[in-house]
Amino acid sequence: MRILCCVKRVPAPGARINVTGDGLAVDAAHLGFTTSPHEECGVEEAVQITEREGGEVTVLTLGPAEAAEQLRYAASVGAHHGVLVQTEVEAWDPQRTARALTAAIESLEESGGPFDLILFGNESADSGGFQVGVRVAYALGRPIVNGIKGIETDGSTVRARREIDGGFEVYELAMPAALGVKEGINLPRYPTMRGRLASKKLAITTMEIDAEAGGQALVRLHRPTETLSQTTILGHGPEAAAAVVDVLEELGVL
């Protein structure tokens, strides 16, 4: 199996997200960066499939030079190859991103053969455009289903599970295929010391691809107006239980 995973480097916020002075980006001065959560699970899923069935995992990202960090992290948990489409400005619109990724995948497939399965995150944690995977899959002529939280493969088809209220749906796609996966599909492993060491030696393929901008443009980021709630302290420790149950009675949930 040849599996490709597309990942995005995103800031790792804590309790509050701040915006830069010009309003064009998240102020990451005091934040670390991470792989967008759905995609981290995508990498884990790809590694698990190749551990079961053999094959190789290639991880592809589009972003600044620093995004190599996310490729190395993927390698430290079992991915075999890393490809970086390096951009100068960080925020590309969804159409432009999709066009560049499509060109990158076409080039990778030309030299290395087709990928049986391409995994995307359902949506990125930051901009959340909900479309890049769909656009790329369509351009490549591959079927794609989003929202996937379970994958079984048998070499020629992939059975994919998607949660709905009170159960799940099953889709069956003939490979080559693409899927948009969600966190919860697995529990990503932590890198081992050996994995970390190996990832330092990962040879990253860097591509420079420009693509035509799409129609959506960022003007400014801002924080939503917070409705400051006045927290009523009902008490300290177990003695507060009676006050809590009064509240529950008042709300009519008892």
Partner 1 sequence: MLLVVLEHDRGTLGEPGREALTFGRTLAVKMGAEMHAAVIGAGAPEAAGPDAIAAEAGDHGAAHVYTVDSEVLSDFGPEAWGESIALITALVGADAVLACGSERGNEVMAQAAVRLDAPMVANCTDIAPPGEPDGQWSMTRVQWGGSLLEDATLSAAGPALLTCALHTVASSPAKPAPDSVPEVQTVDIDLPSELARTVVKERVVLEAGVTLPTAPVVVGGGRGVGSAEGFAPLEELAELLGGRVGCSRAVTNNGWRPHSDQVGQTGTRIAPEIYIASGISGAIQHWVGAMGSKHILAVNIDPEANMVVKADWAVIGDLHQVIPAISAEIRRRWS
Binders of partner 1 among residues 142 to 171 (CB under 8 A) are 143-147, 149, 159, 163-171
Count of residues that bind partner 1 according to CB under 8 A: 83
Alpha helices, H only, 77-151: 94-112, 132-140
**CA angle, residues 98, 104, 106, in degrees to nearest 5:** 100
> Smaller CB distance to partner 1: residue 65 or 242?
242
Query: How far is residue 179's CA from residue 160's CA, in Å, rounded to a whole number?
Result: 8
Least separation in angstroms between CB 183 and partner 1: 4
> Quick check: 30 binds partner 1 (CB under 8 A)?
no
Q: Which stretch binds partner 1 (CB under 8 A): 44-52, 60-68, 70-78, 213-221?
A: 213-221
Least separation in angstroms between CB 214 and partner 1: 5
SS3 148: strand
Task: Find the binding residues for partner 1 in span 172-191 (CB under 8 A).
Answer: 172-174, 180, 182-184, 187
Under 8 Å CB-to-CB from 142, ≥6 apart: which residues?
Answer: 118, 176, 177, 178
Q: Which amino acid is at 189?
A: R
> Quick check: 200 binds partner 1 (CB under 8 A)?
no
> Smaller CB distance to partner 1: residue 45 or 123?
123
User: Tokens 């420079």 identify what position?
Assistant: 208
Task: Find the binding residues for partner 1 in span 55-94 (CB under 8 A).
Answer: 93-94
Dihedral angle at the C-alpha atoms of 50, 51, 53, 56, nearest 10 degrees?
30
According to CB under 8 A, which one of 65, 112, 152, 218 is a site residue for partner 1?
218
> Smaller CB distance to partner 1: residue 52 or 159?
159
Q: If phi over 0 gives left and psi between -120 and 50 gives alpha, with beta otherwise, what is residue 225?
A: beta
> Quick check: 111 binds partner 1 (CB under 8 A)?
no
> Smaller CB distance to partner 1: residue 116 or 183?
183
> Smaller CB distance to partner 1: residue 110 or 165?
165
User: Tokens 């995004």 identify what position?
Assistant: 67
